[in-house]
Amino acid sequence: MRALSGIDAVLARVYAARGIKSVSDLDYGLQHLAPVGSLDGIDRAVDLLVQHRDSRIMVIGDFDADGATSTALVVRCLRGFGFAAVDYLVPNRFAFGYGLTPEIVAVSSERKPDLLLTVDNGVSSIEGVAAANALGMQVLVTDHHLPGPELPAAAAMVNPNLAGCDFASPNLAGVGVAFYLMAALGRRLQADGKDGAAKIPAQFLDLVALGTVADVVRLDRNNRILVQQGLQRIRAGRCVPGIKALLEIAGRVHGRVVSTDLGFAVGPRLNAAGRLEDMSVGIECLLSDDLAHAHSLAANLDEINRERREIEATMRDQAFEYVDAMDARHLPPCVCVYDPHWHQGVVGLVAARVRERCHRPVIAFAREQPGELKGSARSVPGVHIRDLLEAVSTAHPGLIGKFGGHAMAAGLSLQEQHLDEFRKAASRQLTRLYPEADFSGAIATDGMLPATALTLKFAQTLRGAGPWGAGFPEPLFRGEFRVREQRVVGERHLKLRVEPETGGPLIDAIAFNQAEQGLRGTVQLVFRLDVNEYRGIESPQLIVEQIVSIRSPVPRPSAC
């Protein structure tokens, strides 16, 4: 680790485990981004946009945070470039489903656009693009999802995951793809004489950071650059009012924001609108230039998110009961859970919670309409869930309606009568494709953390050492501690005061959703070292991921 000299020894070890070879790898300046022009199809896409500079353009978004930030970014940039007429439309998931469907094309046509520009969707919209073409509308697809065997007949397409594309960062989120397109367009317009056009997209890197973190894409170096640049804008107060409002309503201070604040505080509030209602309120929050108006919309999103949490808690408990009733020794390789009363906008969250409980891929289903189910899948490292669905579809033609997604998350449609057949087929294909899949639930850590490092100073160092996220995880440590105090807070969370077994001061710890633990004596904790702020005072705190009891205190002999 000589190349990381000058960095705290523990942090250098953490960085090395994540592939950081030198201090230069931690330089997140924009000059280190993969070149804008190296993304396949971007020149044709820019040509198409320039042709429609004086036309009516309709941005077709998606109903999650990535789609919302992508929509807001493109609308803001095109309007900033001086395009004549730019509008947006985001499908209501309950009325239209995902992507550029023929139905959403028909709704779009009522506003008479000349060009439809998809963000965070479109690569699988064969019928929707055909419908648009038939109505005389051209389609520009920007997406990052994995393509199927057939591509839509779009006028232009930008997607780093298309076959043959050798772009350096295939892990771009949808908002990352949108940013690259807007950056290329800005450069073209500036070269054509529009002063300042090239600088406009960088003004919205806060949106790129939010969408990238919230979509849980892999934070390779290119994505870390985008996220870090966006975080710097937010900390400096140069973010869109909507992000500032969402941070404030979540109790975060924009001047100290880190990537986890975007992932666990802002992202869920934005996503809640698409899960339960209509993402338009979220997009309007990100488009608003009036802080008071943005606060009003953020308050609405916060209320929707509270409702989402209540619905999720009920569904999660029901799913846990189902899984707990099964013999743990005979859990299927792929766990499928379903209840006819579940909310289809929340099944993805339930799948994630059940995955954490049983340590294997989980697909949660909800009824979309009589006889039809919508499923949301969450996977574990080593099992590519979209590839699994494709294998099931190939082995059983017609069993799955539509499907798409990534390595760790995917969605599908299914006839309710085929659910049992699908359950068995998914487990068979998983066993065939991934015979060595690890379902142990073992957590890889960054080793022991010396008691001398359990300080506010080192917690602050770790907090600022990111951006942390998928593929570049926040450091996890393990250690033995004596439990001195414990109580339940918020119904499901365990608040602790622990003392390092090797000696040292007491430190606060919190174990979320682990209130059922009754702890005594010495325990081994797997934890993150974080900064807790209470009434303006900061202190170190352990965020506990796993608790293993080691030994109970030896009882004192009773008096004779």
The answer, yes or no, to whether residue 266 has pLDDT greater than 70, is: yes
- What was the pLDDT predicted at 262? 98
Using an 8 Å Cβ cutoff, are 212 and 223 in contact? yes
Looking at residue 218, its pLDDT comes to 95
Whether 467 and 385 share a structural domain:
no
Under the banding of pLDDT at 50, 70 and 90, the label for residue 460 is: very high
Give the pLDDT of residue 405: 85
Q: Which pLDDT score, from 0 to 100, does residue 2 have?
A: 62
Between β-strands 477-489 and 522-534, what pairing exists: parallel, antiparallel or unpaired? Answer: antiparallel
26 lies in some domain: no
pLDDT digits (tens, 9 = 90+) for 323-370: 998 876 689 999 999 999 999 999 999 999 999 999 999 999 999 999
Judge whether 72 lies within some domain. Answer: yes
Residues 325 and 295 in one domain: no
Of 64, 50, 117, 114, whose CA–CA distance to 348 is shortest?
64
Q: What is the mean pLDDT of residues 58-62?
A: 97
pLDDT on residue 314 = 96
pLDDT band for position 95 (50/70/90)? confident
Residues 289 and 327 reside in one and the same domain: no
**Can you tell me the distance from the alpha carbon of 143 to that of 406, in angstroms, rounded to the nearest whole number?**
12
| Domain boundary residue, one of 300, 333, 363 | 300
Residue 462 phi, psi (nearest 5): -65, -40
| Domain identity same for 71 and 154 | yes
Contacts for 171 with CB less than 8 Å, ≥ 6 apart: 160, 217, 218, 219, 220, 222, 223, 471
Residues 377 and 461 in one domain: no
Query: 0.85 cut: is pTM over it?
Result: yes
Residue 227's nearest CA partner among 465, 467, 475, 470 is: 467
Is 239 a domain residue? yes
Residue 295 structure tokens: 């606060």
Same domain flag for 325 and 278: no
Q: What is the CATH number of the domain that holds 520?
A: 2.40.50.460
- Can the peptide bond before residue 467 be classed as cis, meaning omega within 30 degrees of 0? yes
Using 50, 70 and 90 to split pLDDT, how confident is the model at 92?
confident
Q: With 90 as the cut, is the pLDDT of residue 442 above it?
A: no
Percent of the chain with pLDDT over 70: 97
238-259 confidence digits (pLDDT tens): 999 999 999 999 999 999 999 9
Residue 4: pLDDT band (50, 70, 90) is confident
Query: Model confidence at 558, in pLDDT bands (50, 70, 90)?
Result: very low
Judged on CB neighbours under 10 Å (0-12, 13-18, 19+), 341 is exposed
Same-domain status, 38 and 146: yes
Same domain, 380 and 458: no
Give the three-state DSSP class for 138: strand
From 403, 433, 463, give the residue that closes a domain.
Answer: 433
pLDDT over 90 at 406, yes or no: no
Query: Confidence class of residue 1 from pLDDT cuts 50, 70 and 90?
Result: low
- Is 169 contained in some domain? yes
Q: Are residues 460 and 530 in the same domain?
A: yes
Nearest in space to 180 (alpha carbons), one of 26, 33, 29, 72? 33
263 secondary structure, DSSP code: I
Asked if the structure places residue 328 within a domain, the reply is yes
- Here the CATH number for the domain that contains residue 345 is 3.10.310.30
Beta bridge partners of 56: 85
Residue located via tokens 């050492």: 465
Name the residue range of residue 364's domain: 318-433
User: Band of the pLDDT at 490, cuts 50, 70, 90?
Assistant: confident
pLDDT of residue 234: 98
Which of 378-382, 417-421, 479-483, 487-491 is least confident?
487-491
Q: Is residue 307 part of a domain?
A: no
pLDDT-derived band at 414 (thresholds 50, 70, 90) equals very high
pLDDT digits (tens, 9 = 90+) for 103-128: 999 999 999 999 999 999 999 999 99
Q: Give the domain-ending residue among 376, 398, 433.
A: 433
What's the rounded mean pLDDT across residues 64-86? 97
For the chain, how many structural domains are there in total? 3
Residue 551 clears pLDDT 70, i.e. is over it: no
* Identity at 237, one-letter amino acid code: G
Q: Do residues 98 and 203 both lie within one domain?
A: yes
Q: Is residue 559 predicted with pLDDT exceeding 50?
A: no
Of 153-157, 242-246, 462-466, 553-557, the one with minimum mean pLDDT is 553-557
The arithmetic mean of pLDDT across residues 75-101, rounded, is: 92
442 occurs within a structural domain: no
CATH no. for residue 245?
3.90.1640.30
Proportion of the chain above pLDDT 90, given as a percent: 86
Scored b (16 or more CB within 10 A) or e, 289-322 reads: eeeebbbebbebbbebbeebeebbeebbeebbee
How many of the other CB atoms lie within 10 Å of CB of 122?
28
271 and 361 both lie in a single domain: no
Residue 278 lies in a domain: yes
Name 472's bridge partners.
469
Q: For the segment 497-544, what is each residue's pLDDT rounded down to a tens digit?
A: 999 998 889 999 999 888 776 777 899 999 999 999 888 899 999 999
- Whether 560 has a pLDDT exceeding 50, the answer reads no
> What digits encode the pLDDT tens for the residues 287-329?
999 999 999 999 999 999 999 999 999 999 999 999 998 876 6
Q: What is the mean pLDDT of the chain?
A: 94
Are residue 412 and residue 462 in the same domain, yes or no?
no
